Structure 1
Amino acid sequence: MALLTAIGLMSGTSMDGIDLAILRSDGANVLEFGPSMAVAYDAAFRRRIEASLETAKAIVRREDRPGDLRDLEREITMRHAAAVKDFIRSLPSKWQEPDLIGFHGQTVLHRPHLGLTVQLGDGALLAREAGFPVVYDMRANDMIHGGQGAPLVPAYHAALARSLPEPYATMKPAVFVNVGGISNITYVPASGDPVAFDTGPGNTLIDQWVSREGGVPYDAGGTIASEGGVVAEVVARYLDNPFFGKSGPKSLDRNDFTLALAEGLELADGARTLANVSAEAILKSVEHLPEPPRLWIVCGGGRKNPHIVGDLRLGAEKAAAEVIVAEDAGLDGDATEAEAWAYLAVRSALGLPLTFPTTTGCRAPVSGGVRADP
């Protein structure tokens, strides 16, 4: 099978910037990891993206760009192009000629029950500006084939699971947990296809809470939450949402959970309680897995919140399972999603499946993505 070098670009539901990573893969295994980089959005641009979520509610067709969404899409794309150029200039010479760029774009609307998902990002413009082929729009074909268009990272998680070092390599079933704005899991059995679904809010409610109540964009290191306590009644109200009773595949839009149930809490109590909501939602996902996992591997920005990880660890220990963060297994937890988009671009180029019935609900394993050349 061909060996390709790809850069992956991810701007996730936390809307805090662009993550970039480069790797080499044959579409089955990751054969070499390269460097990674993060480019933060300034506060004003982040607020502009947040405001676009309201505008995006008017979208009824994937190509619709009401209000200023067309201009925002161009700016998002140009910021990605500038980030790619800076990233390539920073790379060792052996990495400076990638075969592909995997471009996620910025999700502004996700309505799987309507077969509608919208990521702002102009793949053709990015290819022209960056000077390399771009694979983008990787969710749409899954939806055409009956899937929810999310999560897409499980194919990559399954590849990572095959390369875990000892003692983790033999600890199956293993579950990769990506705690971004929305959390999702990938269950990797000893044999067979992965099982995956969104589990609930990850960082998004915490970010919204501390921004509104404390005037800061996120709770760095869980510092604010460390001054507060868990309000169990609020956690219970969040977990009473019908979403948690549904089996996978299932996926969420960033706006599916709100701060309404946390109203009236003090700043620190709210931050601590919402961190517990994130952890308990992840633990609750076990109800919909074929077997309880032996190992949880936490990736994404939420792994830096000691309260999310600590609560997850306490819950997992009750089931004799171990919780580690990505770095404990020699992985880069900041770069995992960007790496995934590089890996998926390679699989797309080779015509390999990106999604499976057990991950998105598509009718059969299906590839996807659109290629744009410079």
Structure 2
Amino acid sequence: MTTTDARTADAARALFVARFGAEADGTWSAPGRVNLIGEHTDYNDGFVLPFAIQHRTHVALGTRGDGRIRVTSTFADEVVEVTLDELDALFPARRDELPEWSRYPLGVAWAVLASQDGSAIPGVSPGVSGVDGQNVLRDEHAAGPVALAGVDLAFASDVPIGAGLSSSAAIEGATAVALAETWGLELDHVALAQVGRRAENEAVGAPTGIMDQMASLLGRADSAIFLDCRSLDANVVDLGFADAGLELVVIDTGVTHSHATGGYGERRAACERGAAALGVPALRDVTPDDLPRLAEIVDDVTFRRVRHVVTENQRVLDTVQTLREQGPTAIGDLLVASHASMRDDFEISVPELDTAVEAALA
């Protein structure tokens, strides 16, 4: 654990004592993520290439004997408390009764419990497999599993919120692993990523794909996760930054976003319109050769949204091949093309981000 990790874990434990008046049973953590390439392809059943970063969310957990779950965070002054039995009634129908930040951990608890009672996780086939996660950590855990005990959870994080680094997936990953281990549930990291996505989609109300959760739960040092978002097959791809003498620089543009309230849903709806117009289940099934026909049957905005996703899927495949054959110094043109497509076709860039890209290229 790095010095920063230790400080954040200590902050979670200290918050637990301050808010709940007792020592936590243990702490767990999960990282944020950066997506190297493959933007808005995940919920279109496409390909993505994210990797975990060093910034993490830590959760301190303590069990309780009354079937209640309480959550608190360094980012909020309140403690939110419900019973485990209430979760089914709260999600998704009454989620707006809860502060938005609390829906992430409480939604994970709901989705974990739902995974045990036979409730299907939408869009997930049983029996999928992936690489073992190395980035989700049991920082400290003294007690053994306690079947479906009530829990108190206190969160501290150094993953910037709203900065595009998947602070939500880090919360979900840390919560999911902490609860699964505390409750003695046999859920691998792919299953826990599915839990996190369900929480974000239904408990929070953000129509995201599964990329963020998979990157947080499966990431390895100096490697990316090449993920097929349809099959959930995941392969580790060596980034080779260390061998090439490269350092990753994450630039904060100062612009914040929210999946739940931003333009995310509008973009996703445009993708679904394009797939429906072509009579396919998802844009994963569309090739560049289909684009001229699509241009004749949909409006310009829908066409450009689809063109981004279709060409971005190909760029992911090309980036993986280039990394394996030539190394990280050869992928620059693909990254630049990806940004241009996001800026011009998907229209998700902003002047601050464009400036950061232009300065980096200069």
TM-score (norm 2): 0.29
- Based on CA coordinates, which of the two structures has the bigger radius of gyration? 2
